Structure 1
Amino acid sequence: MQTSSRMLASGFLEFKLNYAQIHHLGIRDAVSFENFSAGGYLWRINCYPRGDKVDGDNEHLSIYLQLLTKSKNVRAIFDAYMVCRDGTLSSSDALRSVEVYPPRHGIDLVWKRFVKRSDLESSYVKNGRVTILCGVIVIDSTLPVPPPPELASHLGHLLDSAFGIDVSFIVGGEVFHAPRAVLAARSPVFNMELFGTMADATMPSITLHDIKPAAFKVMLQFVYTDALPSNVELGDPLVEMMIHLLVAADRFALDRLKVICELKLYENVSAETVASVLVCAETYGCPKLKRECIDFFAVKRNFMKAVAIDGFLMLLQKFATLAVDLAMTVGL
C-alpha cells in the first residue's frame, strides 16, 4: 500500500493515504506509519480505515497512538486533524487527548470513531489522497501536576446535605430539594422560573409534570457536578433513560447535557431502539442524531430488524416527515 509521511516538526507528522487503496481494505486491516520521535520517545500511529471491530462499528476510520519505547509514566498530548481539500484543518473531525503511558489495562490510546468513512470522499479526498495531521507532545513528567478539579466534588456534596436548601420539586410523587442559586446559575430556564416574575419564583415547592423522577435525579446530579454517573448506575434500559434525560435537558436548556445525551444515544442505538431514538431526535431538535439514525436504517441488516419491531409502522404514520426522510434514504 502506498503511504507517505513528512516530518513537519518534532513530534508532528502529516500522513497521506491513498484513498483508492484504503477504500477497499477489510475490517481490522491496519495502515502503520513510520516510527517517529517526540520528547525523546519512539511512537507509532496505526490507522484502521474500516475500524478494528472491537465495538462492531465498521463505518468509521479508527486511529491509535502506540508508545514503542519501554518507559513508565510518560504523559503525552495526542492531536489529530483531518485536512480539508483547501488545506485547512477540520474543526469537526479533530480530537485531542491527554494520556499517561503505559495506558491503563495495556490498551493504546484510541479513537475508534475518528471520522466517518462516508465523509472521507465527500470532504477530504484531494488528488486521490486523504491527509491526516497528527501530533504528539510529551509533557515534562518532572514538573508538578496539579490535582484534579475539586469544584464538582464540592458541589456534589450539596446533593446530600441541607445546606442552602430553599426550594423543593415534586416529581412523580418524589420530593427533591435544592438551592435556587445553584439551579439558576446552571440553567436559564431555572433562573427565569426561580428568580423572575413567574409564580414559581415565590413558591417553596414546585410540582413538575411529564418528567420521570429518575431522570430528574440524574439531571440534578449533572447540574451539581457537570458529569453523569456510569452507565451501570444509570440503569437498564440505558437508551430509555437517556431519552428521558434528553427531554429534561431540552426543557431546562441544559445544552451540554443534551449533547452528551445525543452522543450516548448514538453510541447505544440498536435495531430495537432506533425508532424511538429517531422520534426523540425529530421532536427535540437533534439534527445530527436524526441523521445518524437514518444512516443506521440505511444498512440493510439494520433496516430488516427494525421494521419487524412492534410500532414501527405506526411511527411512520404518526411522523410523516420521518417517513419521507426514510423513504429517500432506504427507498421505502
Structure 2
Amino acid sequence: MLESGFVELKLDWAATKSLSIGAIVLSDEFSAGGHTSGGSDATRMDTSSTTLMAFTESKNVRALFEAFLMCVDGTPSKSHTKSSVQVYPPEGFDAWGFSPFVKRADLESSSSNYVKDGHVTFMFGVIVLRSGHDGPIAVPSSDMGDHLGHLLDSADGSDVSFDVAGEEFHAHRAVLAARSPVFKAQLLGSMAEAKMSRVTLHNIKPSTFQVLLRFMYTDKLPTDKELEETSSSAANEVFEDLLADMFQLDRLNLMCAQKLWERVSAENVAAALGCAETHSCPELKNRCLDFFVVEKNFKVAVLTEAYYRLMHSFPSVIDEIRERVQSKR
C-alpha cells in the first residue's frame, strides 16, 4: 500500500542572494499516510540543499523521499532530481535531505531551464511504504480548521457582526471568546458589546480584520500563493498591523513576525525594525539588526526613507546599530 504527499516550494531566486549563508526557506506542511512533513531549501554561497523535515511524532516510518526541480515548461527536471528510501526519523536527527542538491551556477546560467518569472520551483514528495497490516492505522490530519473556516464563510449560526470601516463581518461569539481573552471580555463579559448584535471596531483596517478573523477560525495565515494577487507592501501592512496584537493572540503575533522576517530586504529592513520596536517584538528586532549590519545591506538601508524615520522616532535603535557595526570591525 502506498500513501503519498507532495508540496511545491517556489523561491524568488534574486531574493535568495540577500539571504545569509545557510538561511532556510520552508515550504507549507503536507501529509502522507497520516504523517505530517515539510520541505525546505537551504542556500549557501554556491549551492542549494534540500531537506525533508518530519513534524510527526511517529517512529520507524519507512518512506521514499523525493526532491526535484520543475522546468520552465512545467515538467519535472530529469537531471536535478534525487530520491532515497529512508526510515524516519533518521537516528539522531529529525530531518533528512540532499546536500548539495543543485549549484547556483546551473540555475543562473543563460541556458538555465529552471528560472521562470524570477522564480525557481522545488517539489518535495514523500511516499510512505507499508506492507500488509503491520503498520499503524493511518489517521488523517486534523481538518478542524477547514470545517471552522467553512463555518466562517457560510456565516451559519453567526450571532454577532462587526462593522469595520463600513464593511460587515459575521462571526460566532463562542469561537472568538475561546480564542482571545479580549473578545471574551468584550462579547461574553459585562461590557456593553456583550448585548449588541453588531459591534463597531475602530483602529483596524477591513483587510487586517479579515485575516485576523480567518486566523481565529483556522489557526492559519494566508499562504504565499493566496497573497500573489496582493502587493508586497499591502501584505506587509497587514502583518505589521497584526503585530500590534490588539486581541492578545501570542501565536499570531509571532507568525506575523516570521512573515515580515521572510520579506525583509535591504530596502525595507529599516521599516521592519521600526515596526518591531513599535510593537515590542524582540524576535523580529534582533533578526533585523543582524541583517542590517551586514555591510552590503547597511550601504543600501541607510539611504532609505524608512531609515531617516527610524533615526527620528527611535534613536536608541540607531545606537544599537552603531554598536553592532563597531563590534564587527
Fold match, TM over 0.5? yes
TM-score class, shorter: 0.5 to 0.7
> Aligned pair count?
234
Distance 1:77 1:225, change over 3 A: closer
Distance 1:212 1:61, change over 3 A: closer
Given candidates 183, 189, 193, the residue that maps to 1:196 is 189
Given candidates 240, 256, 259, the residue that maps to 1:261 is 256
In structure 1, distance between residues paired with 2:258 and 2:314: 23
Cα RMSD of the aligned pairs, angstroms, is: 3.5
In structure 2, distance between residues paired with 1:54 and 1:302: 13
- Would the aligned equivalents of 1:218 and 1:228 in 2 still touch at CA under 8 Å? yes
Given candidates 10, 14, 22, the residue that maps to 1:60 is 22
Q: Write out aligned runs for 1:1-332 (5 A).
A: 55-56=16-17, 57-60=19-22, 97=55, 101-103=64-66, 105=68, 106=81, 133-134=92-93, 141-142=130-131, 143=135, 144-234=137-227, 235-238=229-232, 240-248=234-242, 250-331=245-326
Deviation at 1:281, TM superposition (A): 0.8
- Would the aligned equivalents of 1:245 and 1:261 in 2 still touch at CA under 8 Å? yes
Deviation at 1:55, TM superposition (A): 3.2
- By relative contact order (CA 8 Å, sep 6+), the higher-ranking structure is 2
Task: Provide the residue aligned with 1:24 in structure 2.
Answer: none
* Deviation per residue, 1:202-251 (Å, 9 max, x gap): 22212222212111111111111111222132343336424433533511
Distance 1:97 1:107, change over 3 A: farther
> Secondary structure at the residue paired with 1:60?
coil
Distance 1:270 1:194, change over 3 A: same
The AA in structure 1 aligned to 2:138 is V
> Secondary structure at the residue paired with 2:146?
helix
In structure 1, distance between residues paired with 2:272 and 2:237: 7
The AA in structure 1 aligned to 2:170 is H
Task: Provide the residue aligned with 2:121 in structure 1.
Answer: none
Deviation at 1:133, TM superposition (A): 4.5
* 4+ runs deviating over 2 angstroms: 53-63, 75-78, 95-109, 132-144, 234-249
Deviation at 1:265, TM superposition (A): 1.2
* TM-score between both structures, scaled by the size of structure 1: 0.61
The AA in structure 2 aligned to 1:151 is M
* TM-score between both structures, scaled by the size of structure 2: 0.62
Query: Where does the alignment leave 5 or more consecutive residues of structure 2 unmatched?
Result: 1-13, 26-31, 39-52, 69-80, 85-90, 97-126
Identity %: 39
